[in-house]
Amino acid sequence: MITTYNRPQSLARSLPQVIALNIPVVVVDDASTPENSQENQRITAQHQIPADSHS
């Protein structure tokens, strides 16, 4: 599980490294701003990773 809060740039950098480990990954957005939440969703969709948002 990867949690993120207003840090889509960090998610974009770290997610490929975690995916390379070939382990199940879920991303949880911990109430980011709407703009950052949208970017997080775009990043996870690009990598076909399940994501959830905590508001």
Q: Residue ranges per domain, the chain?
A: 2-54
CB 2 within 8 A of CB 10: no
Provide the residue-wise pLDDT of the chain in tens; the chain has 55 residues: 999 999 999 999 999 999 999 999 999 999 999 999 999 999 999 999 999 987 6
Name the maximum alpha-carbon separation found in the chain. Answer: 30
Return the pLDDT at 16. 95
Statement: the pTM of the whole predicted model exceeds 0.75: yes
Give Cα 21 distance to the centre of its chain.
16
2 by DSSP, 3-state: which? strand
Helices (H), the chain: 8-19, 34-46
